[in-house]
Amino acid sequence: MITAIYQKSELVVTSQIDSPSNAHLVIKRITQTNLSQGIEEKMISRDKFKSITNSFNGKNILVVGDIMLDRYYFGNSDRMSPEAPVPIVDIDKVVDRLGGSSNVALNLFTLGANPTVCGSIGDDLDGEILKEKLIESKISTDFVITASDRPTTVKSRIISKDHQVVRMDKEATHDFSKDLNNQIIASLSDAITGFDAIILQDYNKGFLNKESIPIFIEMSKNNSIPIYVDPKHKNFDLYTGVRLFKPNISEFNNFLEESKNFEDDAFLFSNQIKSEVLLITKGADGSSMFHENEHYSIPTKAQNVHDVSGAGDTVISTFCLSDICGASPQESAYLSNFAAGRVCEEVGVVPIALEMLKEIYLSLET
């Protein structure tokens, strides 16, 4: 197999030559325009793809973080408001969907895994709706707690002609109390060994904080469970020693006090937090993965982008499952990047279904 890599800012292709020692390498420079094609054609074989995706079924994944309700108001607009320079949208349908870390769990379920969420809802109607939707989606709510001092997080979007007009958020973002942190961790302590992987999905709503994050990481390490992190800026440097750390490019750049060179900054940061894999998503520019002193660049797969909401949830879900099912980090990054591009072609937050992911199969070599 041929792999496109960046090595100290130099783009090369390495291909092993059969020999008694298997020690010789042919090194060939390739251009940026050929990088996308090379990765797409050579990153993974059909047999490996089938082996990975067939192993998704039955994997038990714990998703820890901020669960939310995504509410969509669909309608049409053909006139402006006389009160302000804004459109009037005539609403004809309201749809509630799983959001935040519960959308990560939904992605895992539609890929064939058995997800469990650990999060918090408010003592309100929206919390009841969210919990009911989790149950309807066959996502375990054994570790969903009700917090009386904060509302259920709801992200409301008004959509007109497939375009988002405005978003309204109802939420609390202060950190959970120490007592509540202890309650959450105590509830998980006896069940943690039943999971194949843990995803920490942080939206800076207070569930994951400076008290709870180190304990979750310690619990996973003590039980040899790989941990995958989708961070926000507030807790960036608390996630040390994890299997995967996956910020987007905006979050990564905002965290840096001073940015000089993207590649050097990424390697330095990865070493600082001791992550095995650093995957930085870059929207239309695909993603960059840093692993074992190599920089892999993976192009985007989206053809017609309608909505980028939830794409990061799809990336970490697909990467996590692929990684624990025998894929290399490069293969996991490639599959997760394709999955994210595919859901961006849909309107609203849509999970990646296994059948959607299998669309990649036809483009792979045998």
The Cα–Cα gap between 200 and 65 comes to 6
The Cα–Cα gap between 309 and 233 comes to 18
3-state secondary structure the chain: CCEEEEECCEEEEEEECCCCCCCCEEEECCCHHHHHHHHHHHCCCHHHHHHHHHCCCCCEEEEEECEEEEEEEEEEEEEECCCCCCEEEEEEEEEEEEEEHHHHHHHHHHCCCEEEEEEEEECCHHHHHHHHHHHHCCCEEEEEEEECCCCCEEEEEEEECCEEEEEEEECCCCCCCHHHHHHHHHHHHCCHHHCCEEEEECCCCCCCCCCHHHHHHHHHHHCCCCEEEECCHHHHHHCCCCCEECCEHHHHHHHCCCCCCHHHHHHHHHHHHCCCEEEEECHHHCEEEEECCEEEEECCCCCCCCCCCCHHHHHHHHHHHHHHCCCCHHHHHHHHHHHHHHHCCCCCCCCCCHHHHHHHHHHCCC
Residue 155 identity = K
Q: Which of 70, 126, 307, 313 is catalytic?
A: 313
The verdict on whether 179 is a catalytic residue reads no
Query: What residues are labeled active site?
Result: 313
